[in-house]
Structure 1
Amino acid sequence: MDHVITVRHLRVRDRDKTLVGPVSFGLEHGSTTGLCGPSGAGKSTLLRVLVDLLPAGLARDGDLEVLGRSIAAGKGDADLRAKVVLVPQTPVVFGGSVLDNALFGIRHVMRASRQVMEERAEQALNEAGLWKEVCDRLDAPAQTLSAGQRQRLCLARALALEPAALLLDEPTSALDERSRDTVDESVAALRGRRTVLLVSHDPAQVERLCDRKVMLDPPVAAPQPVAMTT
């Protein structure tokens, strides 16, 4: 079966120290996959690998393919980041209006009239479950939105790019229960239509939202040499 993303024996290293992996998995079209594992296993770091945004000093080996194309490490591929979009744990809302935020990504990758781009933004806001709440205040500052609305605005900004895959890094961990439920509903509505990789520390959330899960175990520390005595 064709995969949107295929990872084979992927590791992240800091010099000789393994920080993540090795891990292998594939994301099928339209699937929602939970990326699970204990704190320190490197779940967020792995997401950064998938968009080629590893911090300086870290390296990865193993194979990464997106839509059948091999992705070399450290190339800063902007085209990749328009196809595989990372939505971080803390909502990043830019200065400007709600509509400006929804348009932010596509303005940089799409050559079209303002009307066409606004129509795409409206579709994305609908898909993120936010349109009915903001359609009468698109010109309002995005900073006036609640935490849950900001997270769904970030989701809409990503969806407007028509990505091949969405990477969601603990999208509800910083939210109150009511906001968490609304974001959960938005993610659930993507199931079967978008390819999603969801990092979550909540097994119940993974059970609710995901078709399958990938377990990421902490790397095994290399054994320490035994001191010889005489």
Structure 2
Amino acid sequence: MFKLFEREALSVEEFSKEQTSVDVRHLCVSLNAKKVLNDISIRIPKNKITALIGQSGCGKTTLLNSFNRMNEFISTHEISGEVWIDNRNIYDKRERVSRLRSQIGMVFQRPNPFPMSIYDNVSFGLRIQGEKRRRFLDDSVEKALRNAALWDEVRDRLFESALTLSGGQQQRLMIARALALEPKVLLLDEPTSALDPLTTLYIEELMVALKQQCTLIIVTHNMQQAARVSDYAAFIHKGELIEYSDSDSLFTMPNKQQTEDYITGRYG
């Protein structure tokens, strides 16, 4: 159904043996008295790219936000179930949310650089954590920008405003800002929807490279993109997890008719 990057499809046995990065157990989320997610259980493999797909309003972003407790910014929210990351339940009352969010990076649909220099944008999280060593900050900024494939373009203008960068550069800057904290998991919510096709391809190639360093979870409406970059894909419909498997299987031989209807454009 979709042209995929060349990779071997995994057997059920191989799929089950992947080391788990995020383990979601019977997660239910209600926002503003409306149930958005119902009994979601999913194990997301380490150092892979997992795509969350489904219609607008199906709960994809709510699930993504559950991995760093962003849903708690909504005043009326109810959450039950568990999300295990790094062998701890992040919804345990003893969990420090600030620590969690430093380990779970987030990149939003539209780049949101702070009105400060490129250098200060990347080093912002480290400074918030109390880091003051200039040599350490310099090295961390360079490393993050290199990992975001942006260093060569901005190395001579680090102290210029980040707002002077192009849209694609700003999005890579947001990735660098997240990477500076060396997150275990990087969450991306429609990271290329506001970008042109060439820049989109550049970001996709960057995502594939970044999975050597961390686990990536991406929300996307673009089925071709999900098929191109993801190792695993989860189809969500009206707050329910309909199907979850390696991407080769889901996009070429889905088990559920409902999944096939969605990815072939019969609805959605």
Tell me, yes or no, whether TM beats 0.5. Answer: yes
Q: Which runs of 5+ in 2 are unaligned?
A: 1-17, 241-268
Residue aligning to 1:159: 179
Please show how residues 67-216 of structure 1 align to structure 2 within 5 Å: 67-72=86-91, 77-109=97-129, 111=131, 113-216=133-236
User: Do the aligned residues in 2 keep the contact of 1:52 with 1:76 (CA within 8 Å)?
Assistant: no
User: Does structure 2 conserve the Cα–Cα contact (< 8 Å) formed by 1:7 and 1:26?
Assistant: yes
- The percent identity for this pair of structures is 37
Matched residue type, 1:195: T
Checking the alignment, whether the CA contact within 8 Å between 1:96 and 1:141 is kept in structure 2 is: yes
Quote the RMSD (CA, aligned, Å): 1.8
Cα distance between partner residues in 1 of 2:153 and 2:191: 19
The yes-or-no answer on 1:59 pairing with 2:78 is yes
The separation in 2 between residues aligned to 1:73 and 1:18, in whole angstroms, is 21
Aligned-pair distance for 1:107?
Answer: 1.4
Q: Is the 8 A contact 1:47 1:86 kept in 2?
A: no
Give the Å deviation of 1:61: 0.9
Deviation per CA, 1:122-170, whole angstroms, max 9, x where unpaired? 1111111111111111111100000000000000000110001000000
Q: Give the gaps of 5 or more residues in structure 1.
A: 221-230
What's the counterpart of residue 225 of structure 1?
Answer: none
3-state SS of the aligned residue for 1:104?
helix
2:197 & 2:167 partners in 1: Cα distance? Answer: 11
1:25 aligns with 2:42: yes
Give the drift of 1:3: 2.1
Which has more helix, going by share of residues?
Answer: 2
Q: Distance in 2 between matches of 1:121 and 1:18?
A: 41
Q: How far apart are the structure 1 equivalents of 2:38 and 2:204?
A: 28
Question: Aligned equivalents of 1:110 and 1:214: distance in 2?
Answer: 38
Residue 191 of structure 1 deviates from its aligned partner by 2.8
Tell me how far 1:178 sits from its aligned partner: 2.3
How many angstroms does 1:217 deviate by?
A: 1.6
Q: Distance in 2 between matches of 1:191 and 1:106?
A: 22
Aligned residue identity for 1:94: F
Distance 2:110 2:75 in 1: 22
Residue in structure 2 matched with residue 13 of structure 1 by the alignment: 30
Q: TM-score, normalised by structure 2?
A: 0.77
Distance, in Å, in 2 between the alignment partners of 1:34 and 1:173 is 14
